């Protein structure tokens, strides 16, 4: 499933640079994750990097965007098909 950033976000921006899919951007006032680009780092890392680096645990599972491992892998492949 894609991730989202909840209201625990302090807008530090550390998550944005860690995302291999450029799915995270600065919102107003919090950072946001584009669910069309979020693969929970499947295909790039063993764990979701935003979750790993977030100092406030604001990056959490998005219950409205549930995807299987296979769907996340296919999404990653599609995003990085050059």
Closest by Cα among 59, 43, 78 to 2: 59
Single pTM value for the model: 0.93
Has residue 82 got a pLDDT over 80? no
pLDDT digits (tens, 9 = 90+) for 27-38: 999 999 999 999
In the chain, the domains with their CATH numbers are 3-79 (3.30.70.20)
pLDDT digits (tens, 9 = 90+) for 64-80: 999 999 999 999 999 99
């Amino acid at each position: 499933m894609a991730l989202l950033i909840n209201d625990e976000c302090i807008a530090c921006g550390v998550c944005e640079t860690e995302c291999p899919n450029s799915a995270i951007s600065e919102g107003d006032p919090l950072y946001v994750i584009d669910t069309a680009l979020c693969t929970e780092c499947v295909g790039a890392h063993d764990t979701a990097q935003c979750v790993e680096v977030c100092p406030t645990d604001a990056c959490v599972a998005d219950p409205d965007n549930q995807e299987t491992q296979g769907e996340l892998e296919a999404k990653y492949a599609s995003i990085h098909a050059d």
